[in-house]
Structure formats: C-alpha cells, structure tokens
Structure 1
Amino acid sequence: MLAHNRILKQHTRNHTGEKPFKCDVCEESFTQKGNLKQHMRIHTGEKPFKCEVCEASFTQKGNLKQHMRIHNGEKPFKCEVCDESFTVNQYLKWHMRNHTGEKPFKCEVCGESFTRNGTLKQHMMIHTGEKPFKCEVCEASFNLNGNLKQHMRIHTGEKPFKCEICDESFTQNVSLKEHMRIHTGEKPFKCDVCNESFSMNGGLKKHVRIHTAEKPYKCEVCHKMFKWNVCLKMHMRIHTGEKPFECEVCGASFTQNGSLKQHMRIHTGEKPFKCEVCDKMFKWNGYLKVHMRIHTGEKPYKCEVFDKLFNCRENLTIHKSIQAGQKQFNSS
C-alpha cells in the first residue's frame, strides 16, 4: 500500500509540475529523487556502470544497456518501412523522418530544415563561422568534433578501419566502404547520359564533365581551363618548370610520372605493346598505333598540294620538306 501511494505521488507531480528535488550545484529540479541522483553524476563525474568488454563507463544503467548492443550486435528497434534496425529507439525515430520527410528543425538564417536538432546546431556554425574544435598539433579548427578526430589521424597515422579481404587500412569508415566496392564490384553511381556506372560519386561527377564540357579548374597564369584538378596540377608544372619525377639511371626529369615510366623503357628495353597481327613489340602505344596502319592500310595524313596520303605525321613532314627543297632548287 505504501509503495502504491509513493508511485501515485510521483505520478501526480507530472500533472502538478511539482519538482521537490533540487540540485545544489546548478539548481535544476526534478520530480523524483532517483533522477536527482543520476543528475548529480554530471557534476561529480561518477560513472558507476562499467562495460566488462571495453571498460567504457556510464552515469546511467540504461546507457550501459544501450552501449552493450555495440558488442552483442543487438538492434531491437526495427523500421517497418525498410527493415533497417537500430540499437536505440531514438535512432529509429530520427530514421523514420527520412521516410516521412519530416524536418522539424529549421534554420532561421537560410530556411534550410533538418531532421535532428543536433544537425541544425552543426549547420548554424556555417553561418556563425564557429569552429570550436581545434587541433593542438597544427592549430587547424573544425566545426565538428568528429572532423577533428578524423583530422588527428593525419598526425597519429592511425587507420582504424581495415579491409578484411586485402588488409588495407583507412582513416575513415566511409573510405573503407568506398574501397569495398573494388572487391564487390558494386557501382551504385550511374551516368544518366551514357549509363556508365562508378563505384564513387566523385568518379561520376568527373565523368559527367565529358558530356557537359564543363571545365571548372582554371590556370591563373594563362587562363586555360581543365575538366579535372589533377590535369591543372600537371599543367602548372609548365609554368613553374617543376619536374618532380626523376630517372635514377640518367637523371632526366619529367613533369608526369607516366612520362618517366615511358622513359624507363629506353633503359630496360621493355616493349609491352604487341601487334596482334605480326607479333612485333613496341616500347610505346603510339608506335604500335602507327605500325597497325601497315596492316590496315590507313593513311590519315594528307598532303593538300599533291593529294598524297601518309600513314604517319613524320612521313608527311618529310614529304613536305622534300617538296620545299625541290621547289627552292628549281627556282634557283
């Protein structure tokens, strides 16, 4: 009977708003004494509920129960729309907004809406410029603690996300997920124009520029435009004179690694390009293409004066030189 009266008394406070249990530190009030005890652990730092697997500690028993699901894989909260499961009921509630389209948290600056209040708070830092999370090594600042943690791996070299197939490790889980597509062959990003598929969204964005002719990367020296940033970087070496790829045999330097690899065939004698008709081998693919015209009879280079055709540009150049010399001889 006493227990029943106590529970009824506690319940009645939900209606009356009475909160008789007050924190002496911050003056926050509570309806139940147990809630005050839990709250006090914020101030004392006490975390009496300890995980026996990884030794993480918690202020509340319920938080420990939620945490244990990380280790046992239990996900009791299931979405009835897409069957995705979650360890915490609140995560399911947030997830359901993806299906309902509900975005109750709105930015008063730009009007963008979000499914979670925490996401709105993060978004607000774009407008305020606030970056409260600072790297103590290089002083780079971030608006999210998670971004700082990822950044710190640059300094520590930590790569906690490991591929179980080839053992390659990554600093971010998203990088591991992208890498796994190499093994699975999954290409979820599809071009709407030619239906070519890509394992990464960045690869699709680069590809689309073939269709749109977009060249977003501009050389500040000569104003030449490029589809890809890597092409701009290679181009800039024309202006800077930088040749970072050096031959260890003869010391020749090159602006591109591919050019160095081609050059090395002079020293190694390697001829990786084979004619499928006569089995002749070539150092460079360009030489193979010219050679193939012997078999195909293709002569794409034309002398406009004599209407004569040639299978390579060099032969056309020689022909023009001979004609120019002969013309000069005849006029003398």
Structure 2
Amino acid sequence: MFTNNSTLNVHIRKHTGEKPLKCEVCEKMFIHHCNLKRHMRQHTGEKPFRCEICEKLFSQNGFLKMHMRMHTGEKPFKSEVCDKMFIKNSGLKVHKKIHTGEKLLKCEICEKMFTENSGLKMHMRKHTGEKPFRCEICEKMFSQNSGLKMHMRIHTGEKPFKCEVCDKMFIKNSGLKVHKRIHTGEKPFKCEICEKMFSENGGLKLHMRIHTGEKPFKCEVCEKMFTKNSGLKVHKRIHAGEKNIQL
C-alpha cells in the first residue's frame, strides 16, 4: 500500500521504466529526485558523509556504512559452505565460485586458479611486469589501482587505521596489526636455529643473517659488506670524513 499518489507514481516507474528526471551535466535519466540528487555529487564533488574515526568523506551514506566495516571489522556476508565472512556481498559472490568450481581460469605460467577473468588479468601483471597505474605526484607505477590508492596515503597523510590503546594512526591495516604486538607482547615469529622470538617477519629475516652470514649491503668505496642498510649508512660517514679532511 502507498500513503499518497506521488509515492505510487514513483513506484509505477519501476515497472514502466519511465525516467523523467535528467542530469543537466551528462543527461543520465533517473526515476526519483533523490537518485538524481545523489548522482549530482559525482559532478560537484560534494561529500556530505564523514567517517567519525578517520574523517574520510563520502558522497553516499551507503559508501560510509561500507567503509565503517574497515574500522569495526564487521563482515555481514557469510559463506554457507565454509562459514568464511566477507565485508561486501560482491566478495562473497566471487568466493562462492570456489565451492561450485564455476568458471575457474588458470594462469598458463604458474597454474594459479582464478574465479574471474579480471582477477587473472590482474595476476598476469606479476609475470609481465605491467604497471598501468601511475601516481600523478611522484610518477611511481603500480600494477593495481588498489596499490596506487594505498600509496596515495603517503602523499595525503591519510591514516585510516587507529590503535585503540595509544591512538597511533596507520596507513595500512597490516601496519596496525604489527603495532598492536607492542602492547600485547605477542611474538609469533621464531628463529628455528636459536629460538629467538620476533613480533614481525621482517625482524626474523634480518636476524637470520646473523646465522647465514648474509651481508647484502656493500660500500661502493671500499666494498665492505653489511648485514643492515643502517650499518652501511653509518660506515659511509668514515669515507665522508676522509673527504672533508682532504678538503
């Protein structure tokens, strides 16, 4: 039932396909005035919906709600087969194909399987080295648009992930996860030789050079080798000092 004729008329348009409202900029047609108003924000750049946590702005309330799941960790879409949870319904739809085996596509180089052609196409860039997405500020190239978006936070200073303990902000969720271990004391990475524990995998890899003797950083002046880049930087001052004395 409908409360008035105008509401009924708008509803009828869904059946008839009538779209009487036109965008004056791109001439796209709409059923309802609110849809046109929402669409106009693409042209005006208006973003009236703000995230209270990281202050990122959105043109639609639906986009804000979707974004909030990054902060809350909410994943409302569940696979009925394996119970895996997803932030977006689109992610769940793609995942379902894993169980049904629908349209599995294989990379001819490494034989990795994909559910969609877009995923395979994106993956192929790892083999070809293609990087079609460029940062307009520093011209760094990326194989994926998501990588470019993440990189742009370096220039904009955007840090959407916040530590609930000390309020420190991070560009990536992975950075926040590693940081949290400072507060929890968690050290999940263990050296198999001496059993020393580390909070991040990078720390373990660096430590392993003590056992392997690997020294990947070389001084271009005297060819002395170093385990860490920081050690090489300190060493370079010796040569810089020699030049100053000669001057």
**Which TM bucket (shorter chain)?**
0.5 to 0.7
Partners in 1 of 2:114 and 2:175 — Cα distance? Answer: 27
CA distance in 2: counterparts of 1:77 and 1:199, whole angstroms:
40
Task: Determine the C-alpha separation between the residues in 1 that align with 2:210 and 2:180.
Answer: 27
Per the alignment, residue 108 of structure 1 pairs with: 80
Name the residue aligned to 1:148: 120
Alignment partner of 1:246 out of 218, 222, 229: 218
Distance, in Å, in 2 between the alignment partners of 1:131 and 1:75 is 35
Mapped partners of 1:109, 1:253: distance in 2: 53
In the other structure, the counterpart of 1:175 is: 147
Q: Which amino acid counterpart does residue 107 of structure 1 have in structure 2?
A: S
Once the two structures are superposed, what CA deviation does each residue of 1:41-93 show, in whole Å capped at 9, x if it has no partner? xxxxxxxxxxxxxxxxxxxxxxxxxxxxxxx6969699x69x86599xxxx9x
Partner of 2:231: 259
Structure 1: runs of 5 or more not aligned: 1-71, 271-332
Structure 1 equivalent of residue 205 of structure 2: 233
> Aligned partners of 2:171 and 2:217: how far apart in 1?
30
For residues 27 and 221 of structure 2, the distance between their equivalents in structure 1, rounded to whole angstroms, comes to 56
| Structure 2: runs of 5+ lacking an equivalent | 1-25, 43-59, 69-73, 243-247
How many Å separate the matches in 2 of 1:75 and 1:163? 34
- Alignment-mate amino acid for residue 131 of structure 2: K
Which residue number corresponds to residue 207 of structure 1?
179
C-alpha distance in 2 between matches for 1:128 and 1:236: 43
Instruction: Measure how far apart 1:200 and its partner are.
Output: 1.8
Q: Does 1:223 align with 2:158?
A: no
- Indicate which of 136, 153, 159 corresponds to 1:164: 136
Structure ranking higher on relative contact order (CA contacts 8 Å, 6+ apart): 2
From the superposition, tell whether residues 106 and 243 of structure 1 become closer, same or farther in structure 2 (CA, over 3 Å). Answer: closer
Q: CA deviation at 1:230?
A: 1.0
CA contact (8 A) 1:131 1:141 kept: no
What amino acid is aligned across from residue 143 of structure 2 in structure 1? T
- Give the total of aligned pairs: 190
SS of residue paired to 1:269: helix
Map 1:294-313 → 2, pairs under 5 A: none
Shift in Å at residue 226 of structure 1? 0.7
**TM-score under structure 1 length normalisation:** 0.47
1:75, 1:207 → 2: CA distance? 49
Any idea what the Cα deviations from partners look like across 1:264-323, whole Å, max 9, x if unmatched?
Answer: 2112228xxxxxxxxxxxxxxxxxxxxxxxxxxxxxxxxxxxxxxxxxxxxxxxxxxxxx
Distance 1:203 1:155, change over 3 A: same
Q: Alpha carbons of 1:230 and 1:97: their partners in 2 closer, same or farther (altered >3 Å)?
A: closer
Root-mean-square deviation (CA, aligned residues, Å) is 4.1
Q: In 2, Cα distance between the equivalents of 1:113 and 1:225?
A: 31
